[in-house]
Amino acid sequence: MEIYTGQRPSVFRIFGKYMRKGLYSILTQGPIPTHLAFIMDGNRRFAKKHKMKEAEGYKAGYLALLRTLTYCYELGVRYVTIYAFSIDNFRRQPREVQCVMNLMMEKIEEIIVEESIMNAYDVGVRIVGNLNLLDEPIRIAAEKIMRATANNSRFVLLIAVAYSSTDEIVHAVEESSKDKLNSNEVCNNGIEAEQEFKEANGTGNSVIPVQKTESYSGINLADLEKNTYVNPHPDVLIRTSGLSRLSNYLLWQTSNCILYSPFALWPEIGLRHLVWTVMNFQRHHSYLEKHKEYLK
């Protein structure tokens, strides 16, 4: 897959691709992360640093995203989740919010146009978050691209939009409660029908056995996991610009996750950062796997 759209001459791009293959052949001697998550921090600071307009900073960040996705795909990372827009970001200046939304709409439409390429490379796009907070045109476009790539699974790109981890947890609890209520209704209806049948035929009493209802009370961990927006859990979370805050992002999913905070601003992220991410993951892989087994 080649989705990088930089301006280098094709001969250098081809040479770089073969160089990366050699590097990947070394890295893949060890375990490769299944899921990488990114907080794309530093677009505005990049624009200020280079005396650019904020919109140009976000566009530079988009090109950096394309490069990073290319590297992840080539390396064999199956899931990538990006923090595109937080619910808290709606509090920013209306001009900046509109700029990001316009760019988002533009890129979603580009993905729709390139739908056949996404399907050819088996790339699934999942846009997650409280989509009801989005303007209708963006929400409709998001739903369209998700439907178009729903059966693709070789490489899955999750885009967190109108997302916050606290909102996700509330959503998971609400959906789990609905599931439990539905299960209880089905269970109770079945028990009542059985009891009525027994009473009609003189084969039972009118008391519902306690053990019939106990298993349907309460919400467990599996219920919440099923209803979170982002699964599986990331192996590494990368936040650019040197900050180590999670900023209300994947709080539920990062309890057993490596955190990496390179000082590069997001538009400056490169292959070396991904290589370091994989090497650091491999160094801690044994401990992480043992810890996962302990938590089961």
Closest alpha carbon to 71 in 278, 283, 293: 278
Confidence of residue 215 (pLDDT cuts 50, 70, 90): very low
Confidence of residue 186 (pLDDT cuts 50, 70, 90): low
Confidence of residue 227 (pLDDT cuts 50, 70, 90): very high
Confidence of residue 207 (pLDDT cuts 50, 70, 90): very low
Closest alpha carbon to 81 in 158, 154, 152: 158
Name the H helices within 5-90.
10-27, 43-49, 54-75
Backbone phi and psi for residue 35, each to the nearest 5 degrees, phi listed first: -140, 125
Q: Would the pLDDT of 43 be above 70?
A: yes
Question: Class of 32-164+226-242+251-295 per CATH?
Answer: alpha beta
The amino acid at 212: K
The domain locations on the chain are: 32-164+226-242+251-295
Q: What is the DSSP letter of 258?
A: E
Q: What is the per-residue pLDDT for 217?
A: 52
* 3-class DSSP state of 6: coil
CA distance 122 to 151: 8
Backbone phi and psi for residue 145, each to the nearest 5 degrees, phi listed first: -70, -30
Instruction: Tell me the whole-structure pTM to 2 decimals.
Output: 0.83
* Mean pLDDT, rounded, for 99-126: 86
Residue carrying structure tokens 């967190």: 160
Per-chain mean pLDDT for the chain: 85
Q: What is the per-residue pLDDT for 2?
A: 52
Six token digits for residue 209: 């056995």
Q: What is the per-residue pLDDT for 37?
A: 98
> Residue 198: left (phi > 0), alpha (psi -120 to 50), or beta?
alpha
CA distance 71 to 278: 12
Q: What is the per-residue pLDDT for 210?
A: 43
- For helices 10-27 and 271-295, angle between their N-to-C axes, nearest 10 degrees: 30
Q: Would the pLDDT of 208 be above 50?
A: no
CA distance 160 to 274: 20
Q: What percent of the chain has pLDDT over 90?
A: 58
In the β-sheet with 35-39, what is the strand arrangement from edge to edge?
123-128, 155-163, 79-86, 35-39, 236-239, 258-260
CA distance 272 to 72: 12
Q: Would the pLDDT of 184 be above 60?
A: yes
Confidence of residue 198 (pLDDT cuts 50, 70, 90): low
pLDDT tens for 251-265 read 999 988 999 999 999
> Which are the catalytic amino acids?
41
